[in-house]
A and B are shown apart, each in its own frame.
Chain A
Protein backbone atom coordinates (compact mmCIF):
# COMPACT_ATOMS: atom_id res chain seq x y z
CA UNK A 1 0.00 0.00 0.00
CA UNK A 2 1.22 3.52 -0.76
CA UNK A 3 1.40 6.10 1.98
CA UNK A 4 -1.35 8.68 2.22
CA UNK A 5 0.67 10.56 4.84
CA UNK A 6 4.22 10.52 6.02
CA UNK A 7 5.16 12.50 9.13
CA UNK A 8 8.83 13.28 9.72
CA UNK A 9 9.84 14.76 13.06
CA UNK A 10 6.50 16.53 13.34
CA UNK A 11 6.06 18.64 16.43
CA UNK A 12 3.38 21.16 17.20
CA UNK A 13 4.25 23.39 20.12
CA UNK A 14 2.78 26.37 21.89
CA UNK A 15 5.84 28.02 23.37
CA UNK A 16 7.75 25.34 25.25
CA UNK A 17 4.81 22.95 25.40
CA UNK A 18 4.59 20.48 22.52
CA UNK A 19 1.11 18.98 22.19
CA UNK A 20 2.13 16.75 19.28
CA UNK A 21 5.55 15.14 18.95
CA UNK A 22 5.68 12.42 16.31
CA UNK A 23 9.21 11.55 15.11
CA UNK A 24 8.11 9.15 12.37
CA UNK A 25 4.72 7.89 11.23
CA UNK A 26 3.09 6.65 8.06
CA UNK A 27 -0.60 6.32 7.32
CA UNK A 28 -1.24 3.97 4.43
CA UNK A 29 -3.61 4.89 1.66
CA UNK A 30 -6.89 3.04 2.07
CA UNK A 31 -6.40 1.98 5.68
CA UNK A 32 -8.55 2.68 8.70
CA UNK A 33 -6.35 3.94 11.52
CA UNK A 34 -7.76 4.48 15.00
CA UNK A 35 -6.00 6.75 17.47
CA UNK A 36 -6.95 6.22 21.09
CA UNK A 37 -5.65 7.85 24.21
CA UNK A 38 -6.56 9.89 27.24
CA UNK A 39 -8.05 13.37 27.01
CA UNK A 40 -5.49 16.04 26.25
CA UNK A 41 -3.13 13.60 24.57
CA UNK A 42 -2.99 15.69 21.37
CA UNK A 43 -5.21 13.44 19.25
CA UNK A 44 -7.46 16.23 17.96
CA UNK A 45 -4.46 18.47 17.26
CA UNK A 46 -2.91 15.66 15.23
CA UNK A 47 -6.14 15.45 13.21
CA UNK A 48 -6.03 19.20 12.58
CA UNK A 49 -2.47 18.82 11.28
CA UNK A 50 -3.58 15.97 9.01
CA UNK A 51 -6.45 18.16 7.72
CA UNK A 52 -3.94 20.99 7.07
CA UNK A 53 -5.95 23.29 9.32
CA UNK A 54 -2.74 23.97 11.22
CA UNK A 55 0.89 23.86 10.16
CA UNK A 56 3.28 21.97 12.44
CA UNK A 57 5.81 24.18 14.18
CA UNK A 58 8.56 21.64 13.31
CA UNK A 59 8.99 18.86 10.80
CA UNK A 60 7.26 17.97 7.57
CA UNK A 61 4.07 16.27 6.50
CA UNK A 62 4.08 14.55 3.14
CA UNK A 63 0.69 13.91 1.58
CA UNK A 64 0.34 11.52 -1.37
CA UNK A 65 4.05 11.96 -2.12
CA UNK A 66 4.04 15.77 -1.95
CA UNK A 67 5.62 17.68 0.90
CA UNK A 68 3.05 20.13 2.19
CA UNK A 69 4.26 23.44 3.56
CA UNK A 70 2.36 26.44 4.91
CA UNK A 71 0.59 27.22 1.62
CA UNK A 72 -1.46 24.08 1.15
CA UNK A 73 -2.81 23.73 -2.40
CA UNK A 74 -6.60 23.84 -2.50
CA UNK A 75 -6.67 20.54 -4.37
CA UNK A 76 -4.93 18.82 -1.44
CA UNK A 77 -7.11 20.52 1.16
CA UNK A 78 -10.18 19.34 -0.74
CA UNK A 79 -8.90 15.76 -0.66
CA UNK A 80 -9.32 15.65 3.12
CA UNK A 81 -12.37 16.31 5.29
CA UNK A 82 -13.00 16.09 9.01
CA UNK A 83 -16.16 15.17 10.90
CA UNK A 84 -15.78 17.15 14.09
CA UNK A 85 -16.76 16.10 17.58
CA UNK A 86 -19.07 19.10 17.85
CA UNK A 87 -20.25 19.89 14.35
CA UNK A 88 -21.38 23.45 13.64
CA UNK A 89 -24.27 23.50 11.19
CA UNK A 90 -25.39 26.47 9.14
CA UNK A 91 -28.68 28.26 9.86
CA UNK A 92 -30.20 26.59 6.83
CA UNK A 93 -32.15 23.43 6.16
CA UNK A 94 -30.68 19.99 6.75
CA UNK A 95 -30.50 19.37 2.99
CA UNK A 96 -28.69 22.68 2.43
CA UNK A 97 -26.16 21.70 5.10
CA UNK A 98 -25.55 18.36 3.46
CA UNK A 99 -24.98 20.08 0.09
CA UNK A 100 -22.67 22.83 1.39
CA UNK A 101 -19.37 21.06 0.67
CA UNK A 102 -20.31 20.44 -2.94
CA UNK A 103 -21.48 24.04 -3.33
CA UNK A 104 -18.18 25.31 -1.94
CA UNK A 105 -16.37 23.19 -4.52
CA UNK A 106 -18.69 24.43 -7.29
CA UNK A 107 -19.67 20.82 -7.89
CA UNK A 108 -23.01 19.75 -9.25
CA UNK A 109 -25.51 19.78 -6.37
CA UNK A 110 -28.11 17.61 -8.00
CA UNK A 111 -30.84 16.46 -5.67
CA UNK A 112 -30.03 12.76 -6.15
CA UNK A 113 -26.76 12.86 -4.23
CA UNK A 114 -28.26 14.81 -1.36
CA UNK A 115 -31.26 12.49 -1.16
CA UNK A 116 -29.04 9.42 -1.26
CA UNK A 117 -26.94 10.64 1.66
CA UNK A 118 -29.95 11.84 3.62
CA UNK A 119 -31.44 8.38 3.19
CA UNK A 120 -28.23 6.55 4.14
CA UNK A 121 -28.00 8.59 7.34
CA UNK A 122 -31.71 8.24 8.15
CA UNK A 123 -32.37 11.94 7.67
CA UNK A 124 -34.84 11.95 4.77
CA UNK A 125 -37.76 13.17 6.86
CA UNK A 126 -35.66 16.01 8.25
CA UNK A 127 -34.46 17.25 4.83
CA UNK A 128 -36.40 20.52 5.00
CA UNK A 129 -36.10 21.05 8.76
CA UNK A 130 -34.00 23.97 10.03
CA UNK A 131 -30.67 22.47 11.07
CA UNK A 132 -30.61 24.40 14.35
CA UNK A 133 -33.65 22.43 15.57
CA UNK A 134 -31.78 19.10 15.42
CA UNK A 135 -30.66 17.04 18.38
CA UNK A 136 -26.92 16.52 18.89
CA UNK A 137 -27.14 13.04 17.40
CA UNK A 138 -29.04 14.23 14.32
CA UNK A 139 -26.55 17.06 13.86
CA UNK A 140 -23.72 14.52 13.98
CA UNK A 141 -25.37 12.48 11.23
CA UNK A 142 -25.76 15.64 9.11
CA UNK A 143 -22.05 16.30 9.66
CA UNK A 144 -21.28 12.79 8.37
CA UNK A 145 -23.49 13.31 5.32
CA UNK A 146 -21.93 16.69 4.44
CA UNK A 147 -18.43 15.20 4.74
CA UNK A 148 -19.13 12.05 2.74
CA UNK A 149 -21.07 13.72 -0.09
CA UNK A 150 -17.83 15.40 -1.24
CA UNK A 151 -16.23 11.96 -1.63
CA UNK A 152 -12.96 12.77 0.18
CA UNK A 153 -9.87 10.64 -0.31
CA UNK A 154 -9.18 10.97 3.42
CA UNK A 155 -11.88 11.06 6.06
CA UNK A 156 -10.82 12.26 9.51
CA UNK A 157 -13.19 11.51 12.38
CA UNK A 158 -12.83 13.27 15.72
CA UNK A 159 -14.87 11.41 18.34
CA UNK A 160 -17.54 10.97 15.69
CA UNK A 161 -20.08 8.92 17.57
CA UNK A 162 -20.02 10.44 21.04
CA UNK A 163 -23.54 11.86 20.64
CA UNK A 164 -25.11 8.78 19.09
CA UNK A 165 -27.22 5.89 20.32
CA UNK A 166 -25.95 2.34 19.69
CA UNK A 167 -28.08 1.90 16.54
CA UNK A 168 -26.64 5.02 14.92
CA UNK A 169 -23.12 4.16 16.09
CA UNK A 170 -23.50 0.88 14.22
CA UNK A 171 -24.96 2.66 11.18
CA UNK A 172 -22.07 5.11 10.95
CA UNK A 173 -19.42 2.45 11.49
CA UNK A 174 -21.01 0.44 8.68
CA UNK A 175 -20.96 3.48 6.38
CA UNK A 176 -17.32 4.21 7.23
CA UNK A 177 -16.35 0.60 6.49
CA UNK A 178 -18.33 0.68 3.23
CA UNK A 179 -16.70 3.93 2.06
CA UNK A 180 -13.32 2.46 2.92
CA UNK A 181 -14.02 -0.79 1.08
CA UNK A 182 -15.85 0.65 -1.96
CA UNK A 183 -13.94 3.88 -2.59
CA UNK A 184 -10.68 3.15 -0.85
CA UNK A 185 -11.18 6.10 1.47
CA UNK A 186 -8.39 6.47 4.03
CA UNK A 187 -9.91 6.90 7.47
CA UNK A 188 -8.27 8.21 10.62
CA UNK A 189 -10.57 8.04 13.60
CA UNK A 190 -9.84 9.55 16.99
CA UNK A 191 -11.94 7.87 19.63
CA UNK A 192 -12.16 7.28 23.34
CA UNK A 193 -14.08 4.13 22.60
CA UNK A 194 -11.48 1.37 22.40
CA UNK A 195 -14.19 -1.10 21.37
CA UNK A 196 -14.98 1.07 18.37
CA UNK A 197 -11.31 1.08 17.42
CA UNK A 198 -11.28 -2.70 17.67
CA UNK A 199 -14.45 -3.00 15.55
CA UNK A 200 -13.43 -0.83 12.61
CA UNK A 201 -9.69 -0.15 12.50
CA UNK A 202 -7.01 -1.97 10.54
CA UNK A 203 -4.35 -0.44 12.80
CA UNK A 204 -4.61 1.25 16.15
CA UNK A 205 -2.32 3.76 17.84
CA UNK A 206 -2.12 4.90 21.46
CA UNK A 207 -1.27 8.56 21.91
CA UNK A 208 -0.12 9.88 25.28
CA UNK A 209 1.18 13.41 25.97
CA UNK A 210 1.61 14.15 22.26
CA UNK A 211 3.57 10.95 21.52
CA UNK A 212 2.53 7.86 19.62
CA UNK A 213 3.35 5.24 22.22
CA UNK A 214 2.36 2.22 20.19
CA UNK A 215 1.06 1.69 16.66
CA UNK A 216 0.26 -1.78 15.47
CA UNK A 217 -2.26 -4.01 13.76
CA UNK A 218 -5.49 -3.75 15.70
CA UNK A 219 -5.54 -7.42 16.68
CA UNK A 220 -2.00 -7.21 18.01
CA UNK A 221 -2.69 -3.88 19.71
CA UNK A 222 -5.49 -5.40 21.74
CA UNK A 223 -4.28 -9.00 22.13
CA UNK A 224 -0.59 -8.46 22.74
CA UNK A 225 0.33 -4.83 23.35
CA UNK A 226 4.07 -4.25 23.45
CA UNK A 227 4.10 -1.11 25.55
CA UNK A 228 3.15 -1.25 29.21
CA UNK A 229 1.19 2.01 28.81
CA UNK A 230 -1.00 0.43 26.13
CA UNK A 231 -1.79 -2.49 28.41
CA UNK A 232 -2.54 -0.05 31.22
CA UNK A 233 -4.79 2.08 29.01
CA UNK A 234 -6.70 -0.98 27.81
CA UNK A 235 -7.17 -2.05 31.44
CA UNK A 236 -8.74 1.34 32.10
CA UNK A 237 -5.89 2.73 34.17
CA UNK A 238 -5.28 6.48 34.21
CA UNK A 239 -2.43 7.54 31.93
CA UNK A 240 -0.49 10.81 31.96
Chain B
Protein backbone atom coordinates (compact mmCIF):
# COMPACT_ATOMS: atom_id res chain seq x y z
CA UNK B 1 0.00 0.00 0.00
CA UNK B 2 1.36 3.45 -0.88
CA UNK B 3 1.88 6.29 1.58
CA UNK B 4 -1.40 7.90 0.56
CA UNK B 5 -3.39 4.69 1.09
CA UNK B 6 -1.73 4.12 4.47
CA UNK B 7 -2.52 7.71 5.40
CA UNK B 8 -6.23 7.19 4.82
CA UNK B 9 -6.13 3.92 6.79
CA UNK B 10 -4.24 5.62 9.64
CA UNK B 11 -6.60 8.57 9.65
CA UNK B 12 -9.60 6.25 9.82
CA UNK B 13 -7.90 4.22 12.57
CA UNK B 14 -7.10 7.32 14.64
CA UNK B 15 -10.67 8.50 14.36
CA UNK B 16 -12.19 5.07 14.96
CA UNK B 17 -10.11 4.49 18.09
CA UNK B 18 -10.58 8.09 19.26
CA UNK B 19 -6.88 8.28 19.89
CA UNK B 20 -6.51 10.39 23.09
CA UNK B 21 -3.61 12.50 21.83
CA UNK B 22 -5.47 13.13 18.57
CA UNK B 23 -8.62 14.14 20.46
CA UNK B 24 -6.55 16.51 22.57
CA UNK B 25 -4.86 18.02 19.51
CA UNK B 26 -8.15 18.43 17.64
CA UNK B 27 -9.82 19.95 20.70
CA UNK B 28 -7.01 22.49 21.14
CA UNK B 29 -7.05 23.26 17.40
CA UNK B 30 -10.78 24.03 17.56
CA UNK B 31 -10.44 25.94 20.81
CA UNK B 32 -7.68 28.21 19.48
CA UNK B 33 -9.38 28.61 16.10
CA UNK B 34 -12.80 29.50 17.50
CA UNK B 35 -11.43 31.86 20.16
CA UNK B 36 -9.31 33.76 17.61
CA UNK B 37 -12.19 33.79 15.12
CA UNK B 38 -14.70 35.16 17.66
CA UNK B 39 -12.32 37.92 18.81
CA UNK B 40 -11.45 38.82 15.20
CA UNK B 41 -15.16 39.01 14.32
CA UNK B 42 -16.16 41.02 17.41
CA UNK B 43 -13.50 43.63 16.60
CA UNK B 44 -13.20 43.30 12.83
CA UNK B 45 -16.84 43.38 11.71
CA UNK B 46 -17.71 46.72 13.39
CA UNK B 47 -14.42 48.27 12.27
CA UNK B 48 -14.84 46.99 8.70
CA UNK B 49 -18.43 48.23 8.61
CA UNK B 50 -17.41 51.64 9.94
CA UNK B 51 -14.63 52.04 7.36
CA UNK B 52 -16.91 50.76 4.59
CA UNK B 53 -19.71 53.16 5.49
CA UNK B 54 -17.53 56.22 6.16
CA UNK B 55 -16.66 57.00 2.58
CA UNK B 56 -15.31 60.41 3.58
CA UNK B 57 -13.22 59.05 6.45
CA UNK B 58 -10.18 61.29 7.05
CA UNK B 59 -7.01 59.36 6.22
CA UNK B 60 -8.94 56.79 4.22
CA UNK B 61 -6.26 57.01 1.50
CA UNK B 62 -3.82 55.51 4.03
CA UNK B 63 -6.15 53.33 6.12
CA UNK B 64 -7.46 51.20 3.25
CA UNK B 65 -4.01 50.28 1.82
CA UNK B 66 -2.88 49.46 5.38
CA UNK B 67 -5.85 47.10 5.78
CA UNK B 68 -5.09 45.46 2.43
CA UNK B 69 -1.46 45.04 3.46
CA UNK B 70 -2.61 43.45 6.70
CA UNK B 71 -4.64 40.94 4.72
CA UNK B 72 -1.36 39.59 3.32
CA UNK B 73 0.69 39.59 6.53
CA UNK B 74 3.21 36.72 6.50
CA UNK B 75 2.13 34.51 9.44
CA UNK B 76 5.70 33.80 10.46
CA UNK B 77 6.33 37.55 10.80
CA UNK B 78 3.19 37.85 12.93
CA UNK B 79 4.50 34.93 15.00
CA UNK B 80 7.86 36.63 15.47
CA UNK B 81 6.19 39.94 16.39
CA UNK B 82 3.87 38.22 18.89
CA UNK B 83 6.82 36.23 20.29
CA UNK B 84 8.76 39.44 20.94
CA UNK B 85 5.74 41.14 22.50
CA UNK B 86 4.99 38.20 24.79
CA UNK B 87 8.57 37.23 25.63
CA UNK B 88 9.93 38.11 29.08
CA UNK B 89 11.62 41.21 27.69
CA UNK B 90 8.51 42.23 25.71
CA UNK B 91 5.87 44.75 26.80
CA UNK B 92 3.35 42.00 27.55
CA UNK B 93 5.84 39.51 28.97
CA UNK B 94 4.28 39.84 32.41
CA UNK B 95 1.17 38.05 31.16
CA UNK B 96 3.09 34.80 30.83
CA UNK B 97 1.29 33.92 27.59
CA UNK B 98 4.32 32.76 25.60
CA UNK B 99 4.08 29.02 24.81
CA UNK B 100 0.43 28.94 25.92
CA UNK B 101 -2.84 28.68 23.94
CA UNK B 102 -3.55 32.32 24.93
CA UNK B 103 -0.43 33.44 23.06
CA UNK B 104 -1.43 31.35 20.05
CA UNK B 105 -4.87 32.99 20.09
CA UNK B 106 -3.23 36.44 20.09
CA UNK B 107 -1.13 35.55 17.03
CA UNK B 108 -4.06 33.99 15.19
CA UNK B 109 -6.26 36.99 15.94
CA UNK B 110 -3.64 39.34 14.51
CA UNK B 111 -3.58 37.24 11.33
CA UNK B 112 -7.38 37.03 11.01
CA UNK B 113 -8.29 40.59 11.98
CA UNK B 114 -7.21 42.41 8.78
CA UNK B 115 -8.98 39.74 6.70
CA UNK B 116 -12.23 40.31 8.61
CA UNK B 117 -11.88 44.11 8.47
CA UNK B 118 -10.95 44.20 4.77
CA UNK B 119 -13.56 41.76 3.53
CA UNK B 120 -16.31 43.28 5.71
CA UNK B 121 -15.36 46.71 4.39
CA UNK B 122 -15.53 45.43 0.81
CA UNK B 123 -18.87 43.71 1.48
CA UNK B 124 -20.38 46.88 2.95
CA UNK B 125 -19.04 48.96 0.05
CA UNK B 126 -20.73 46.51 -2.31
CA UNK B 127 -24.16 47.43 -0.93
CA UNK B 128 -26.03 49.98 -3.05
CA UNK B 129 -24.75 53.38 -1.84
CA UNK B 130 -28.32 54.74 -1.94
CA UNK B 131 -29.44 52.30 0.76
CA UNK B 132 -28.07 54.21 3.79
CA UNK B 133 -29.67 57.45 2.56
CA UNK B 134 -33.01 55.73 1.97
CA UNK B 135 -32.89 54.13 5.42
CA UNK B 136 -32.13 57.54 6.96
CA UNK B 137 -35.14 58.89 5.11
CA UNK B 138 -37.26 56.13 6.65
CA UNK B 139 -36.18 57.34 10.10
CA UNK B 140 -33.17 55.14 10.86
CA UNK B 141 -30.51 56.30 13.29
CA UNK B 142 -26.85 56.10 12.17
CA UNK B 143 -26.44 52.92 14.23
CA UNK B 144 -29.53 51.37 12.61
CA UNK B 145 -28.19 52.29 9.16
CA UNK B 146 -24.96 50.42 9.96
CA UNK B 147 -26.95 47.39 11.18
CA UNK B 148 -29.22 47.30 8.12
CA UNK B 149 -26.25 47.73 5.76
CA UNK B 150 -24.35 44.91 7.46
CA UNK B 151 -27.38 42.66 7.13
CA UNK B 152 -27.57 43.50 3.43
CA UNK B 153 -23.88 42.65 3.12
CA UNK B 154 -24.31 39.38 5.00
CA UNK B 155 -23.17 37.15 2.13
CA UNK B 156 -19.90 39.08 1.89
CA UNK B 157 -19.53 39.16 5.68
CA UNK B 158 -19.95 35.38 5.74
CA UNK B 159 -17.15 35.21 3.16
CA UNK B 160 -15.02 37.21 5.61
CA UNK B 161 -15.78 34.65 8.32
CA UNK B 162 -14.84 31.80 5.96
CA UNK B 163 -11.58 33.46 4.93
CA UNK B 164 -10.61 34.21 8.53
CA UNK B 165 -11.50 30.70 9.66
CA UNK B 166 -9.43 29.20 6.83
CA UNK B 167 -6.46 31.42 7.61
CA UNK B 168 -6.54 30.51 11.29
CA UNK B 169 -7.09 26.77 11.12
CA UNK B 170 -4.48 26.23 8.41
CA UNK B 171 -1.84 28.51 9.93
CA UNK B 172 1.40 26.94 11.18
CA UNK B 173 4.29 29.43 11.32
CA UNK B 174 2.95 31.77 13.97
CA UNK B 175 1.53 29.11 16.30
CA UNK B 176 4.76 27.16 16.03
CA UNK B 177 6.80 30.17 17.15
CA UNK B 178 4.43 31.42 19.82
CA UNK B 179 3.07 28.07 21.03
CA UNK B 180 6.22 26.00 20.76
CA UNK B 181 4.37 22.82 19.71
CA UNK B 182 4.39 21.36 23.23
CA UNK B 183 2.54 18.06 23.38
CA UNK B 184 -0.59 18.22 25.48
CA UNK B 185 -0.27 21.99 25.87
CA UNK B 186 0.15 23.88 22.61
CA UNK B 187 0.19 21.22 19.91
CA UNK B 188 -2.43 21.78 17.21
CA UNK B 189 -3.04 19.82 14.03
CA UNK B 190 -0.79 21.93 11.80
CA UNK B 191 2.18 21.87 14.17
CA UNK B 192 1.66 18.14 14.74
CA UNK B 193 1.83 17.61 10.96
CA UNK B 194 5.15 19.50 10.80
CA UNK B 195 6.54 17.42 13.67
CA UNK B 196 5.48 14.06 12.21
CA UNK B 197 6.87 15.04 8.80
CA UNK B 198 10.22 15.91 10.37
CA UNK B 199 10.22 12.53 12.15
CA UNK B 200 9.58 10.79 8.82
CA UNK B 201 6.11 9.62 9.83
CA UNK B 202 4.63 10.68 6.52
CA UNK B 203 1.54 8.48 6.79
CA UNK B 204 0.64 9.85 10.22
CA UNK B 205 1.37 13.41 9.02
CA UNK B 206 -0.89 12.87 6.04
CA UNK B 207 -3.54 11.31 8.27
CA UNK B 208 -3.51 14.42 10.45
CA UNK B 209 -3.71 16.52 7.29
CA UNK B 210 -6.78 14.58 6.13
CA UNK B 211 -8.43 15.12 9.51
CA UNK B 212 -7.59 18.85 9.34
CA UNK B 213 -9.06 19.10 5.86
CA UNK B 214 -12.12 17.14 6.98
CA UNK B 215 -12.78 19.60 9.82
CA UNK B 216 -12.21 22.55 7.50
CA UNK B 217 -14.54 21.05 4.88
CA UNK B 218 -17.36 20.36 7.33
CA UNK B 219 -17.19 23.90 8.72
CA UNK B 220 -16.99 25.50 5.28
CA UNK B 221 -19.88 23.32 4.10
CA UNK B 222 -21.96 24.73 6.96
CA UNK B 223 -20.88 28.30 6.09
CA UNK B 224 -21.78 27.70 2.45
CA UNK B 225 -25.24 26.41 3.35
CA UNK B 226 -25.70 29.57 5.40
CA UNK B 227 -24.66 31.72 2.43
CA UNK B 228 -27.06 29.88 0.12
CA UNK B 229 -29.91 30.45 2.56
CA UNK B 230 -28.99 34.13 2.84
CA UNK B 231 -28.78 34.49 -0.92
CA UNK B 232 -32.17 32.88 -1.44
CA UNK B 233 -33.92 35.72 0.37
Known: A84-B130, A87-B134, A90-B152. A78 touches B139 (CB 8 A): yes
The verdict on B144 contacting chain A, using a C-beta distance below 8 Å, is yes
* B145 closest partner in A (C-beta): A104
For B230, the chain A residues whose CB sits under 8 A away are 91
User: What are 9 A-B interface contacts by the 8 Å CB criterion?
Assistant: A77-B136, A78-B139, A80-B137, A87-B134, A88-B128, A91-B233, A93-B233, A104-B138, A104-B141
Expressed in whole angstroms, the Cα–Cα distance for A86 and B233 within the complex equals 20
For B233, the chain A residues whose CB sits under 8 A away are 91-93, 130
* B140 closest partner in A (C-beta): A104
The verdict on A105 contacting chain B, using a C-beta distance below 8 Å, is yes
B137 touches A82 (CB 8 A): yes
Closest chain A CB from B107 CB (angstroms): 36
Partner of A130, one of B134, B139, B232: B232
A150 touches B134 (CB 8 A): no
Known: A90-B152, A92-B233. A74 touches B141 (CB 8 A): yes
Q: B208-233 vs A: 1/0 string, CB under 8 Å? A: 00000000000000000000001011
The verdict on A53 contacting chain B, using a C-beta distance below 8 Å, is yes
Which residues of B approach A to under 8 Å, CB–CB? 128, 130-131, 133-141, 144, 148, 151-152, 230, 232-233
Expressed in whole angstroms, the Cα–Cα distance for A77 and B130 within the complex equals 17
Closest chain B CB from A57 CB (angstroms): 16
Expressed in whole angstroms, the Cα–Cα distance for A78 and B139 within the complex equals 5
Known: A92-B233, A93-B233, A130-B232. A51 touches B137 (CB 8 A): yes
A: interface residue count bin: 20 to 34
Known: A90-B152, A92-B233. A53 touches B139 (CB 8 A): no
B139 touches A74 (CB 8 A): yes
A81 touches B130 (CB 8 A): no
* A92 closest partner in B (C-beta): B233
Closest chain A CB from B229 CB (angstroms): 12
B137 touches A81 (CB 8 A): yes
Closest chain A CB from B144 CB (angstroms): 5
For B137, the chain A residues whose CB sits under 8 A away are 51, 53, 80-82, 84
A147 touches B138 (CB 8 A): yes
The verdict on A146 contacting chain B, using a C-beta distance below 8 Å, is yes
Expressed in whole angstroms, the Cα–Cα distance for A91 and B128 within the complex equals 11
Taking CB atoms and an 8 Å cut-off, the chain A residues in 102-140 that contact chain B are 104-105, 130
For A92, the chain B residues whose CB sits under 8 A away are 233
Expressed in whole angstroms, the Cα–Cα distance for A80 and B128 within the complex equals 22
Q: What would 14 more interface pairs be, CB under 8 Å, given A88-B134, A90-B148, A104-B140? A: A74-B139, A74-B141, A82-B134, A84-B134, A84-B137, A86-B130, A88-B130, A91-B152, A101-B138, A104-B135, A104-B139, A104-B141, A104-B148, A150-B138
For B130, the chain A residues whose CB sits under 8 A away are 84, 86, 88
A81 touches B139 (CB 8 A): yes
